[in-house]
Amino acid sequence: MKKILIIEDESALQKTLGDVLSQNGYQTKSALDGETGLKLTQSEKPDLILLDLILPKLHGFGVLKRIKENPETKKIPVVILTNLESMQDIEKAMELGATNYLVKANYSLKDLLIKIKEVLGEQV
């Protein structure tokens, strides 16, 4: 069973995402801030990380940078899941090594699941 780490400070969104991913056969772990997210990345070694950008304690870009600088975690695909959509943020995320940059407002849960399966190399 593949493991997905959700780093998202909105507890309602975290719950919804967690429930839907569990219903679709994924194991999930969650963090409400950047520092906890980083710790869980290192301890759990998930198959995929869903990472928000506006986070308490450590900004999403800071989390992403450290994940990609650590040889033990740099290969974990990180999908940015945020409501920021400036070109500067998108470019920065891709430069830091994000696999995808998804704007929450533009994605239904169904479409998000399809994207997750694509990133994990699963049949859609």
Partner 1 sequence: MVVIIAAVATYYIGTKYIFDPRLVALIVLMVSTILFVVGFIISQSFERLAEANKIKSEFVSIVSHQLRTPLSNLGWAIEVLMSGKLGKTDHRQFEYFVILRENIVRMNELIKDLLMVSRIQTQTLFFSEKEFSLVELVQELIQDFKVVAQASNVNVIFDQPQNIPLVFADPFKIRQVVENLLDNAIRYTQNKGEVRIKIETQGNRIYFAIQDNGVGIPQKDQKQIFQRFFRADNVMKYQTQGSGLGLYISKSIIDKSGGKIGFISPKGQGSTFWFTIPILKAKV
Rounded to an integer, what distance in angstroms lies between the CA atom of residue 124 and that of residue 114?
6
Per-residue exposure over 75-108, b if at least 16 CB sit within 10 Å of its own CB, e if not: ebbbbbbbebeeeebbebbeebbbbbbbebeeee
Q: Please check whether residue 63 is in contact with residue 51, taking contact to mean a CB–CB distance below 8 angstroms.
A: yes
Q: Which is nearer to partner 1, 108 or 123 (CB)?
A: 108
Using CB under 8 A, count the residues that bind partner 1: 20
Selected range binding partner 1 among 16-24, 59-67, 68-76, 114-122, rule: CB under 8 A? 16-24
* Binding test (CB under 8 A) with partner 1, winner from 25, 71, 110, 123: 110
Which residues form the interface with partner 1 (CB under 8 A)? 10, 12-13, 16-17, 19-20, 23, 54, 82-87, 104-105, 108-110
